[in-house]
Structure 1
């Protein structure tokens, strides 16, 4: 199980996030985002397999159950390096030793902006087709200037988990986790990472509309200050923070925590029916993972073959079930009753559900909400701000 972000420590390799906007402005539709990024060439055709592919992945994404078959089919030996955080993935990709990474949205723009990954020729990935859920195509965290840099793997929401023996009525709002008068003060768990600032911003979007926040990853200095103030307020009622999923499970199971932010898979892994979850009325943040190809990949043919192979319904579904997330390929849901049950649990094809989810996106100086009259805060500023929250 992964830790998506480093816990509370100052992050490295973030200076690249002070990006400058293109004169053409921002696009948030099917074309994703428009920003000034290095011009990395796209592969026009594929050649012979090189014999290996080197992959950085979250735990559970690359397993012998499917990688051995891939090697048998292609002759490409799969060399896996498991990473524990998005920060680690970015640093490893910059060594030039890897061909692919299973990046989350909080790492994607860093890699694109740094010229570390290449745009993808989707014609060379036949399984990237109509069965890939629409909500994972053309998103601003991995589609830049009309070019796709990521092949979707899976997604999930950061939901509100609670102990129903303590929280006897299903919460409808995040207020029980953020307000100082919460009856569960001292039993609340929060996420330990700079990107958690966006969770505060989601809450402020609903409860303090005068702040003008329309995208939780596009915060000017005043909006960032308001989010940090809310986080400091929450700090007074938080029992602990988590970045290690096993620690979060232990906290709930051990009775230290009654409610707080979670992933659906963590509730399932707790293996106790008293633990339930809900997507509150304000919505939530979330994560979406995608394969990204190194700009200087030594094995691009094997890498493209892997992206296509793992985008098939069977293999993509196996990854989703192994990790615990909604698969990117919706055709998997129709393969069996077990597959359908998995898809139902993780809301795989429920776009109405995911419309309420703001997927992790690296904060940039360019305001990705379309504003051009202000400068937004970047990831370095979020990192610096996060360090003040628990002091």
Structure 2
């Protein structure tokens, strides 16, 4: 996934190729300094510094915008001086974590299982993170942030990949993804889709509802037959797609000019377009949608594990979580964060029914994440190869 700033916000795009991953239980040491081991049992004195690897916009200290700062308060309260490095893709983050230079990383669902499998991160003891209790239950202990009942981090925020439409062209408000699949011919040349192999999961979500005989239970766990059905659907869609987007500045422009009239989007894009008077609407279709939930994780062999735990607690606190997720443009993960935001309703924060319709990005691996053991699922390397074939 890649994040690009949009005024005071950042966006996300995915693009990587990975081999099949075996999910391993990572090990680490409580005191840090060496690879492998278990979650910490207790904390000691703060080390005075912490090194963080993050998406742009996730670790703001006021240097980019004096009004945007949730780092300074952390440093004052803990005595841990923050140094941070930003990355542009999940692939880059995974490679950088191998250096051992970072105590903390915030990772998306297309990277977390790789970090766990490579033993580059360790389980976290959530009892040592008081603010973890305030995190929404529907974000905890999920397949992208936990393995074998062990938590590997703290959820940051979440959002859905929604359906956007031009209300002057798509005059009847859509309720289904059929407008970009089976009915795409009605808007040929002006359909837009997310430019990433992970978009294959969007087709799988649609097929779950419209071709139940395929037996898809999880859009990130596709056997060969299910995967081919999703690929075929996207090949059919291709002739109607005017533009695949990954930079949401370009999607905003495309909907403003009318070059795109229907396709995938994020709530933050609709918020920007609405503020500028554009004739657009968004909906979470009846089939559900894909989405994201990032996770703060602690490096195996972290040199500053106590400050690392302190950061995870700080970023999960209501005020810091509110500031960081608002800056990005997503729902917070801490229920009390909405006391510090005025837009939680727009992002459906805390709405468990809404959240239950989101299939959060999860790395497709050969070991089916839906629990099946009688078949092998198609891994992300094959997803990437298929995506290039789909786009032509």
| TM norm structure 1 | 0.90
Tell me the distance in 2 between the aligned counterparts of 1:243 and 1:387.
15
Matched, 1:80 2:84: yes
Name the structure 2 match of 1:173.
176
1:388–1:243 Cα change, 3 Å: same
Q: 2:43 aligns with which of 42, 46, 51?
A: 46
Name the structure 1 match of 2:161.
158
Matched, 1:327 2:324: no
Structure 1 stretch displaced more, 185-194 or 240-249: 240-249
Q: 2:276 aligns with which of 262, 272, 275?
A: 272
Name the structure 1 match of 2:196.
193
- Contact in 2 for aligned 1:175/1:182 (Cα 8 Å): no
Paired residues in the alignment total 366
Q: 1:307 aligns with which of 284, 292, 312?
A: 312
Q: 1:68 aligns with which of 65, 72, 90?
A: 72
- Contact in 1 for aligned 2:221/2:368 (Cα 8 Å): yes
Matched, 1:261 2:267: no
1:38–1:118 Cα change, 3 Å: closer
Aligned-residue CA RMSD (Å): 1.6
Tell me the distance in 2 between the aligned counterparts of 1:354 and 1:173.
17
Q: Per the alignment, in what secondary structure is the counterpart of residue 358 of structure 1? A: strand
Tell me the distance in 2 between the aligned counterparts of 1:253 and 1:50.
50
Name the structure 1 match of 2:33.
none
- Contact in 2 for aligned 1:54/1:99 (Cα 8 Å): yes
Tell me the distance in 2 between the aligned counterparts of 1:147 and 1:181.
43
Q: Per the alignment, in what secondary structure is the counterpart of residue 54 of structure 1? A: strand
Q: Could you tell me how far 1:6 is from its partner in structure 2?
A: 4.4
Tell me the distance in 2 between the aligned counterparts of 1:74 and 1:127.
15
Tell me the distance in 1 between the aligned counterparts of 2:255 and 2:87.
25
Q: Per the alignment, in what secondary structure is the counterpart of residue 51 of structure 2? A: strand
Q: Could you tell me how far 1:36 is from its partner in structure 2?
A: 3.6
Tell me the distance in 2 between the aligned counterparts of 1:275 and 1:181.
18
Name the structure 1 match of 2:216.
213
Tell me the distance in 2 between the aligned counterparts of 1:177 and 1:56.
36
Unaligned runs of 5+ residues in structure 2 are: 29-36, 62-68
Unaligned runs of 5+ residues in structure 1 are: 20-34
| TM norm structure 2 | 0.90
Name the structure 2 match of 1:286.
291
Tell me the distance in 1 between the aligned counterparts of 2:257 and 2:54.
30
Tell me the distance in 1 between the aligned counterparts of 2:105 and 2:24.
22
- Contact in 2 for aligned 1:364/1:379 (Cα 8 Å): yes
Q: Per the alignment, in what secondary structure is the counterpart of residue 160 of structure 1? A: strand
Structure 1 stretch displaced more, 246-255 or 160-169: 246-255
Matched, 1:373 2:377: no
Tell me the distance in 2 between the aligned counterparts of 1:138 and 1:211.
28
- Contact in 2 for aligned 1:3/1:84 (Cα 8 Å): no
- Contact in 2 for aligned 1:180/1:233 (Cα 8 Å): no
Per-residue CA distance 1:190-235 (angstroms, 9 max, x = gap): 1111111100100111111111111100000111111111111111
Matched, 1:126 2:130: yes
